Structure 1
């Protein structure tokens, strides 16, 4: 394969993963990571803002907890809101919602999923949505052993909530008062063409995992790709993540999250995303207040997936955000905060009536 074709395949493959790294600016990070010793797990005693929850297979999961002011919390029912980010992102994707939720009197728990952000890495075989469901059960048990819980998941985070419900229907039935699913899907992602058209979309699915594997083995390919420049990187992140223009600072913030995710982690998660089929699991959410938020220009998880969730979750509120893309918490943060607060109000009222 020529170097040019190899770079094209690499770019397509990573774009399929939602990483948008064809510009290759992650090269220096990958090279540095291989030259220095692996960083130790986050020590909760050294972190001012966070703590570590140890998963069932020993992987340290980084968690941050926001406690509400006692006076404000007294007006609530002691609800904890668990915020779960998506593929190649971190808990920072919720930075614009956390303050609003805490100020409204709710306790907030944010987690970095395994292999993402400050959390540790597991075996590649552990990078499955099923394992993420088990991880979330552990996070809830260790950070919120009692009291009502509202679950909020974006993209892969929403899929992880479905896995949690599949594995722990008892927990959902007895403690969960609401579920918010943002830019996510119950299945059928193997048919998504990422806005590239059917033919090119098929090529993306075929080349994606192998291209990412080559990228992890050959960081020198990224050195060549970097000559393309940041303009291409910005254009790809923009196209795959947002429905319209966003401030440059937002674009860079998201890119930093994406490029901090190791390539082998990105590649290892791809199969579980394509295989995710949990429509039957959604019945576990029956009778629970449910919110679905989806953008009309979401190229990674098209709006049809949100509409399908609304069909399957009777009584769910579907909020369609026109001209918005995949990363709604960053693209339209005020709308997402407003809808989440209204959802939490409804969830507490509904729980009180049951």
Structure 2
């Protein structure tokens, strides 16, 4: 990391007073700030590898725990993806008040960026305020249509699964304490079926064991109230046709070919709506692409940051060998 680089813990105050935990790494005078939003049941540490690399190359990197996750407070209910978009606006305002900004979002974090784009198009390039957001990475995410219930074109198996999951998370949402006690009696994130199931549904078959265990620990550490409470928000998320603000900035879309949660078809739909966006499908990877193959996510972030910084400094970011 460069001598001018610093790391600091920050606190962002959301519109309802909820306190969101954030961390900044990299030079305080960097020409670009990269803001990273994580996915459902995870926390800011999901971006550890990318933050470490890019901060060491001269980018200021801000990552934060979404509300109800990690060290962030949950705030007022009901929760929605639109609320997360407003949280992201606060994160930008309070941690990167000036300069160029690049956004990266994984899964629910990508949906967060879409919500921000729909609600605050002026923040993006070409907007009335000069468009401070200069690039966007969307990885393993969707603009909507995740709920199979009521969709006649969805296979019966998926519709039934959707009803079962909705009932399960609904029960957990109204019984968070007993649900936590039940989970505490089950095998932890490093034994029994836990890592097997995490790998099966979130990773590719050749994913490193340490990556799988890291994901399992994050999921296991997420409070049940957040696990259950955010599920209906994910199912209700629908920003298809509302992403016009993203047409004015470089967008990269990255997805694992074996993603079960947000399959490749969702990334293709994003690119259909944003024809200028670049799509990369990584073979053999699942939903947790950012930890399974960190470099596949770091590289497009690097490109976006270099492009955003080009006008401010002819050589703003050093590529590490």
Q: 1:213-292 to 2 correspondence within 5 Å? A: 213-215=170-172, 216-219=176-179, 221-222=182-183, 225-226=186-187, 230-292=191-253
| 103-112 or 247-256, which deviates more | 247-256
What is the match of residue 163 of structure 1?
A: 115
What is the match of residue 111 of structure 1?
A: 64
1:351: Cα distance to partner?
Answer: 9.3
Residues 28 and 60 in structure 2, CA contact (< 8 A), matched pair in contact too:
no
| 308-317 or 150-159, which deviates more | 308-317
Out of 89, 100, 106, the position equivalent to 1:154 is 106
Q: 1:53-64 to 2 correspondence within 5 Å? A: 53-64=12-23
1:87 aligns with 2:46: no
1:278: Cα distance to partner?
Answer: 0.5
In structure 2, relative to structure 1, the CA distance for the partners of 1:238 and 1:103 (3 Å cut) is same
Task: List gaps (5 residues or longer) in structure 1.
Answer: 1-47
Task: List gaps (5 residues or longer) in structure 2.
Answer: 1-6, 314-321
1:308 aligns with 2:261: no
TM-score (norm 1): 0.77
State how far apart, in whole Å, the 2-side matches of 1:175 and 1:104 are. 21
More helix by share: 1
Residue deviations 1:273-327 (CA, integer Å, cap 9, x gap): 1111112221111121110001110000000011111111121111110111111
What is the match of residue 30 of structure 1?
A: none
Q: What SS does structure 2 have at the residue aligned with 1:298? A: coil
Q: What SS does structure 1 have at the residue aligned with 2:27? A: coil
What is the match of residue 99 of structure 1?
A: 52
1:212: Cα distance to partner?
Answer: 2.9
1:217: Cα distance to partner?
Answer: 4.8
TM-score (norm 2): 0.85
Paired residues in the alignment total: 293
With CA pairs under 8 Å and 6+ residues apart, which has the higher RCO, 1 or 2? Answer: 1
1:322 aligns with 2:286: no
